[in-house]
Amino acid sequence: RPGQATGESTEALDAVIVGAGFGGLYMLHRLRGLGMTARIIEAAGGVGGTWWWNRYPGARCDVESMQYSFSFDERLQQEWRWSERFAAQPEILRYAEHVADRFDLRRDIRFNTRVTAARFDEAAGRWLVLTDRGDRLSARYCVMATGCLSSARVPDIPGIESFRGRTYHTGRWPHEEVDFTGQRVAVIGTGSSAIQAVPVIAEQAKQLFVFQRTPNFSIPSRNRPMDEAYERWWKSDYAAHRRRARMMRTGILYHIDERSALDVPPEERRRVYEERWAAGGTAFMGAFADLLRNQQANDTAAEFVRGKIAGIVRDPATAALLQPRDHPIGTKRICVDTHYYETFNRANVRLVDVRSAPIEAITPTGLRLRGGAEFAADSIVFATGFDAMTGAVLAVDIRGRSGASLREKWAAGPRAHLGLMVAGFPNLFLITGPGSPSVLSNMMVSIEQHVDWLSDCLVHMRARGATCIEPTQEAEDAWVAHVAEVGGRTLYPKANSWYMGANIPGKPRVFMPYVGGVGTYREECDAIAAQGYPGFRMS
């Protein structure tokens, strides 16, 4: 019974799925299709994952709606209508709810329940999954669909508990409406969430302080109501367009210019950048083929965006602070905004540099920087991101063979074969885990690819009479080395990004996602399946 603890009795299932975001929902649907019994355990009060939690003002997808959606059901993709080029959080949440209803998924989801531990019982070949409500579930397969950006991070600033106003985290936004009218608001952080929230909060607040440690590159979204001709084009042959998208580097169908930025004359380069800037969105990074591989090429794009910032922001000192100079463009998640830089021209908005003078304390009435500067605030918004990719997985005490702990195994950085499975942890599956394209991609494409691959794998196992699968240590080591090697050929490791774990004090610095491209990765996974799963032991 969803939402109800089962006390001391143990519920027996074929699979437990942790998380009811898009990953968990689709996994449940596919497992049911295989005739398996499966249950999702979800900490939130509803489906949608990211889009259930991140209700902050301005929350929006930066992959186009026509592409940020499921492709597994033709009628679903034909019938659903998106209202905007880039959908806002409420609409994506409605979509997740629609999917849950349409495929009757809710009856197998237990909400408001957090998985705390999962232990592999070697003798029985089953996972025992425990929750914070006292549930005990026994399942042959355990699927961690826990999300790469679901473990919200609040920095450890002294005095935080003394603050007399209200505090918020963008990733844990309240369900009731938050009204900042007449307030002094402090936003801490200038990543993707802040860049979306700041322009909206600025319209309400009496005074807005934006506390910035590291500026990020942001491209205008040029969001607009859905163009009907564009929608018709997608829907005229959705399956074929999706097939092409799946083979793209990021799982997003857009034109990537195959030229090097350095092979074209400066005026042509500028024309290309202007065109991409005017079109809006992350496709900016497709302007030339080598932007993420060649520093000099990257510099041309970065310089172009810095020039745009200088052109938009009237106060030269503020413009200079907003211009990123410490990382190549695109090596931290590129942001997409609606009037972010313009917002700093408002009289009620002020950018505060906390690189030169860090936040020293939160006081009962606001924030204090090193050196003594004080900022009075009625509300503080933490737009401080997530313990990405590994945070939610490791929040669960996962024990594999011989009681070995995943936290210990990953102490020096995550290790997973294909980002999908871990040696020593049989029948444990990670959806969009570290070592897969994951956060570098259109996550809908990556989620479907993982869930489909796993489902096919389970069909294969069943045909062979196998019930247990585990990668070999050698295969895992080789994949982890490959992921590092491919990452090392790019500019990504140059940035102190959350891809590198750099936003979490003490987290090992490892470039976690696989940067070889969504299409290449799919081909590698498919080849392994076609060859009968070399690198995996089945029994």
Do residues 314 and 199 touch, judged by C-beta distance below 8 A? no
Interface residue with ligand FAD, options 15, 43, 118, 420 (CB under 6 A)? 43
Q: What minimum distance in Å lies between the beta carbon of 393 and ligand FAD? A: 8
- Residues 421-440 touching ligand FAD, rule: CB under 6 A, are 431-432
The candidate with the shortest Cα–Cα distance to 239, out of 76, 81, 98, 91, is: 76
Query: Of 70 and 533, which has the nearer Cβ to ligand FAD?
Result: 70
**Choices 37-45, 220-228, 322-330, 456-464 (CB under 6 A): range interacting with ligand FAD:** 37-45
DSSP readout, 235-300? HHTHHHHHHHHHTSSSS-------S-TTSS-HHHHHHHHHHHHHH-SGGGGGSSTTTTT-HHHHHH
Do residues 171 and 147 touch, judged by C-beta distance below 8 A? no
Interface residue with ligand FAD, options 15, 18, 178, 194 (CB under 6 A)? 18
Interface residue with ligand FAD, options 15, 109, 115, 367 (CB under 6 A)? 115
Query: Of 47 and 461, which has the nearer Cβ to ligand FAD?
Result: 47
**Choices 43-51, 161-169, 404-412, 475-483 (CB under 6 A): range interacting with ligand FAD:** 43-51
> How long a stretch of residues is the chain?
539
Q: Which residues are 211's β-sheet partners?
A: 188, 352
Query: Of 2 and 165, which has the nearer Cβ to ligand FAD?
Result: 2
**Choices 142-150, 261-269, 459-467, 502-510 (CB under 6 A): range interacting with ligand FAD:** 142-150
Query: Is 535 exposed, middle or buried (CB count within 10 Å of its CB: 0-12, 13-18, 19+)?
Result: middle
Query: Is 161 exposed, middle or buried (CB count within 10 Å of its CB: 0-12, 13-18, 19+)?
Result: exposed
Q: What minimum distance in Å lies between the beta carbon of 28 and ligand FAD? A: 11
Cβ neighbours for 157, distance < 8 A, ≥ 6 positions apart = 359, 361, 362
The candidate with the shortest Cα–Cα distance to 437, out of 249, 245, 193, 242, is: 249
Q: What minimum distance in Å lies between the beta carbon of 501 and ligand FAD? A: 17
Query: Considering the rule CB under 6 A, would residue 443 count as an interface residue with ligand FAD?
Result: yes
Interface residue with ligand FAD, options 65, 193, 323, 455 (CB under 6 A)? 193
Interface residue with ligand FAD, options 24, 191, 215, 434 (CB under 6 A)? 24
Interface residue with ligand FAD, options 5, 34, 44, 312 (CB under 6 A)? 44
The candidate with the shortest Cα–Cα distance to 114, out of 153, 154, 147, 92, is: 147
Query: Considering the rule CB under 6 A, would residue 93 count as an interface residue with ligand FAD?
Result: no
DSSP readout, 48-83? -THHHH---TT-B-SS-TTTSS--S-HHHHHH---S
CA distances to 94, 438, 472 from 308, in Å: 36, 30, 50
Query: Considering the rule CB under 6 A, would residue 377 count as an interface residue with ligand FAD?
Result: no
Query: Considering the rule CB under 6 A, would residue 108 count as an interface residue with ligand FAD?
Result: no
Q: What minimum distance in Å lies between the beta carbon of 179 and ligand FAD? A: 21
Amino acid at 321: L
For 26, phi then psi, to 5°, come to -70, -35
Query: Considering the rule CB under 6 A, would residue 41 count as an interface residue with ligand FAD?
Result: yes
Query: Considering the rule CB under 6 A, would residue 146 count as an interface residue with ligand FAD?
Result: yes
Query: Considering the rule CB under 6 A, would residue 396 count as an interface residue with ligand FAD?
Result: yes
Query: Of 38 and 61, which has the nearer Cβ to ligand FAD?
Result: 61
Do residues 538 and 469 touch, judged by C-beta distance below 8 A? yes
Residues lying near ligand FAD in the complex (CB under 6 A):
18-24, 41-44, 49-50, 52, 54, 59, 61-63, 68, 114-115, 145-150, 171, 193, 392, 395-396, 431-432, 442-443, 447
